[in-house]
Structure 1
Amino acid sequence: MDANPPGERGVARGRLRRLNLVMFLPVVALGGVLVVAIDSREWWHVVVLGLGAAAAMVSFVRWAAGDVLSVALPCLVVGAGVWVVGALAVDSDSAYFGLAVVASLSIPPLPRHRTAMAVGVPLFVLAVGVARLLTAQGAAQDGDLVQYAVIPTGITAVMIGVMFPNKRFYDVVQDLEDSRDREAELAVARERVRFASDLHDIQGHTLHVVKLKVALAQKLLHSDIGRVEEELREVHALVADTIAQTKELAYAQRRLNLSAELENAKNLFEAAGIDVRVDRRAEVDSAAGELFGQVLRETTTNILRHAQATQVRITLAESGISIVNDGAQEAGRLSGLAALRERLTAAGGELTAEQVGGRFLTAAEFPPRPATTGRGRR
C-alpha cells in the first residue's frame, strides 16, 4: 500500500487499513502457525519457520499502519533466508510463506524497481526450489518439482500481482481525499471572497460618497458655510452608519435572507463533496428567519473548517432549524456559535450545539406561537 502513513485527514485510508488489520492479520497468523506446526520435526525447525511467520506478521502490521517500507528490507532478508534453509535443510515446501507475504506487501509501494523486484522474487523462489531438487538425496520425483518449484513460485507471483491493483485502489482513495480537501478549502475561500464582497459593498460606496461630499465641502468652504456644515453632518452620519454595518457584518449580525443562505450552504457543501439534504417541514416564521440564517451560515463555516463531514442534514420547521453533520472532530470553543447563542437567548430563543459520537448537532428554536382562535358563539 501507500508507503507514507495516513495524514491527518486520511480518514478513509485509516479505516480501510484498520479493517484489513482486523480481518486479515488472524489469517496471516494462522497461516504461519500451520506452516510451523506441519513442517517442524525438530526444535530448530520451529525456530526457523517461526522467523518466517514473524516476518510476515510484522510486515502486515506495518503495512496496515502505512509504513511497510520501514521494515521491508529486513523482513525480505528473513523471509528469503527462511525459504533457503527451509527448502534445503528442513525439507519444508511451505517455508516460502513468509517471503511471499512480505514481498506482496512490500513491492507494490516501492518508489523504484518495482517491476524488477516483482519478477526477481518469484525467480528466487523458483531457483531455491530447483536447488532443492538438485541437492536432494536420491532421484527427484515429478511431485517434488511441483511441490518445491511450481507451486511456491506460482503462489508468490500471484500474491505479488494481486497487491498491485490493491495499491492502485488505495492511491485512488488518497486522490479522492485530496480532492475533497481541496474542494473544502475552495469552498471556505469562496465564503471569504463573499465576505470581502459584502464588506466592499458596505464600505466602497460609503467611501466614494464621502470623497465626493468632502470635495464639495472644500469648494464651498469660502462661499456657502451653511451648505458645508450640512455636507459634513451627512458625512458624519454616513460614516457612523457604515461603522455599524461593518460591525454587524463582522459578527454575522447583518440582515440575512434564510432562503439565500440555505442555497449558499447547499452550494458550499456540494462543492466540498458533502451530501446535503434539506427537510422543509413548514415555512419558517419570518421573525426568526434572519437569526436562523445566521445560525446556518456560522454552522456551514464550522463544518467546512472543523469537521470531516460526508453528510449534512438540514431540517426547517416553523420555529426551528437543526443541522446535523457526521465526521465531527474534537474542537475548542466555537466563539461564533457562542455569540449567536447570546443573541437567540436575548430574542427568547435557544441554541443547542452538542456532539454525540461522530455527529454534531446545531439547532436553534423559538417557542411556538400560541394558536390564534376566534370566539365561538354561545
Structure 2
Amino acid sequence: MEVPMIARRSSWTGGAIQDRLRRLNLITTVPPLAFVGVLLLVFTARTWWHVVIQVVGLIAALATAERWTAGDFLRVARPSLVVTAVVWLAGALTDDPSSFYGLSLVGSFLIPPLPRRRIPALAGLAVLVAVLGATNVLVHDDRVGARLIQFAAIPAAAVLISTGFMFASQRFFDLIAELEQSREREAELAVIRERVRFAGDLHDIQGHTLHVVKLKVALAEKLLDSDVDRARAELEEVRSLVGDTIVQTKELAYAQRRLNLSAELENAKNLFEAAGIHVRVDRESEVDARVGELLGQVLRETTTNILRHAQARQVRITLSRCGIAIVNDGAADDGPPELSGLSALRHRLVENGGELEVSATDGRFLTAASFPAMKTREDGR
C-alpha cells in the first residue's frame, strides 16, 4: 500500500541545496574577483614580469575562491597562501604594488571560517603583508616614507578591509544555508503531517469497522446454540462490512476516496510552500460540484508527482468550471516519467466523460484534466 501525497525528496534535497548554494557563491564571488584582478593587471602592470607575477597570484586566489564555493578550500588555501606570499614579495622587490591582491584574497577566504583565534590570525596576516611589502625599501632607497605607505600600510589596510567584508559574506551565506535547511525541514514536516492525515483516514475507515466486527462476531458466537439463522445473518453482515472496508481502503490507497477540491487545493499549497515552491492559483470560475471530486484526485496525484519527480521552484494551478491545469517547472530533460497514478486516473476520467493531458516541454510539465462534453452542453444552453 502506498500513501498518497508523500514527498520522497530526502534522497536529493540535500544535494540540490548544496548545488544551488555553490552556484550562488560562484556567481557572486568568483567573477567580481576575477574582474578586479584583470583591471589591476591592465592598469598597473608595467613590465612582462609584473604581468607574470600578477597572473600567478590571481590564479592562486581564484582557485581558492572556487574551492571555497565547494566547501573544500583548506587544502588549496594553504599552498595558495604560500604562492601568493611569494608573489607579493616578488612584486614588492620589483616595484609592483598591485601584486598583493592575490595574498589579500587568499587570506580573506582562509581566516573567517577558522573556529577560533580569527582576530590574531587576521592581525598576523596584516603584519605579513606589511613586512613583505616593506622589502621594497631594501632595493629602492628613494622616497622611503612614501614607499612604506604604498607597499606596507595601504596593502595591510586593504587586507583588513577585504577580510572584514568576507566575515560579512560568510555570515550571509551561512544564513542562506540555514534558510535552505529550514525549508527542507518544513518539507519533511509536511510529509509527516500527510502521513498523520493518511493514518487518520485509515483509522476512520478500519477502526470503526473492526470494532463493529468484533461485536457482531461475539454476538454470533452467543447465537450459535439458540438462534442459528440470526447468527448466520450477523456473519453475513460481517462479511459485507469487511468487503466494503476493503473497497474503501483501496480507494484511500489510490487517492480515489471522495475528496473535497477546496481542501485538496489548500493541502497542495501548504505542501508546496513547505517545500520552498512558489504556488500561484488562478480561478477562472467556480468548479462544478459534479466534477470536483475527480479534479481533486488529479490535483492530489499531480502534487505527489511534482514533489517526487521534479525539482520544481514554481507551480501554477488554474481552475475552470469543468477542468484543472497544473504547470510546474523543474521537469526532467529525459521526458516525462512513468506515472502510474495518473494513468489510473485517466481511465476514471474517461469513464466519466473527461480527458487527461500530460506533457513536458522545455523543462515545464503540464497536467490538465477537463470535461469537454459538460462544457459543450453548458455552451449550448
Question: Please, what TM-score do these two structures have when normalized by structure 2?
Answer: 0.86
Q: Pick from 2, 25, 28: which aligns with 1:17?
A: 25
Q: 1:272 to 1:57 in 2, by over 3 A?
A: closer
**Counterpart code for 1:361:** L
Q: Does 1:350 align with 2:358?
A: no
For residues 219-298 of structure 1, the aligned pairs below 5 Å read: 219-298=222-301
Do the aligned partners of 1:188 and 1:305 also contact (CA within 8 Å) in 2? no
Q: Does 1:120 align with 2:128?
A: no
Residue ranges of structure 1 left out of the alignment (5+ in a row): 1-5
Q: 1:283 to 1:221 in 2, by over 3 A?
A: same
Do the aligned partners of 2:41 and 2:54 also contact (CA within 8 Å) in 1? no
**Counterpart code for 2:91:** G
Quote the Cα distance in structure 1 between the aligned partners of 2:32 and 2:150.
Answer: 26
Show the counterpart of 1:86. 91
Q: 1:15 to 1:262 in 2, by over 3 A?
A: same
Do the aligned partners of 2:353 and 2:371 also contact (CA within 8 Å) in 1? yes
More displaced, 209-218 or 323-332?
323-332
Q: 1:137 to 1:280 in 2, by over 3 A?
A: closer
Q: 1:46 to 1:38 in 2, by over 3 A?
A: closer
Show the counterpart of 1:60. 65
Show the counterpart of 2:15. 7
Do the aligned partners of 1:29 and 1:57 also contact (CA within 8 Å) in 2? no
Identity of aligned residues (%): 56
Show the counterpart of 1:3. none
SS of residue matched to 1:370: helix
Quote the Cα distance in structure 2 between the aligned partners of 1:32 and 1:160.
Answer: 19
* Structure with bigger RCO (C-alpha 8 Å, 6+ apart): 2
Show the counterpart of 2:41. 33
Do the aligned partners of 1:55 and 1:79 also contact (CA within 8 Å) in 2? yes
For residues 156-235 of structure 1, the aligned pairs below 5 Å read: 156-235=159-238
Residue ranges of structure 2 left out of the alignment (5+ in a row): 1-13
More displaced, 341-350 or 312-321?
341-350
**Counterpart code for 2:45:** I
More displaced, 11-20 or 51-60?
11-20
SS of residue matched to 1:361: strand
Show the counterpart of 2:325. 322
**Counterpart code for 1:7:** G
Query: By how many angstroms is 1:143 displaced?
Result: 1.5
For residues 66-105 of structure 1, the aligned pairs below 5 Å read: 66-88=71-93, 90-105=94-109
More displaced, 186-195 or 13-22?
13-22
Show the counterpart of 2:10. none
Do the aligned partners of 2:34 and 2:58 also contact (CA within 8 Å) in 1? no
**Counterpart code for 1:335:** S
Query: By how many angstroms is 1:132 displaced?
Result: 3.1
Quote the Cα distance in structure 2 between the aligned partners of 1:118 and 1:329.
Answer: 46
Query: By how many angstroms is 1:11 displaced?
Result: 5.1
Q: Deviations over 1:100-155 (max 9, x none)?
A: 1222233223344433322221111112223433x245354322121111111111
Do the aligned partners of 2:45 and 2:51 also contact (CA within 8 Å) in 1? no
Query: By how many angstroms is 1:372 displaced?
Result: 6.8
Q: Pick from 355, 377, 381: which aligns with 1:370?
A: 377
More displaced, 258-267 or 327-336?
327-336
**Counterpart code for 2:257:** R
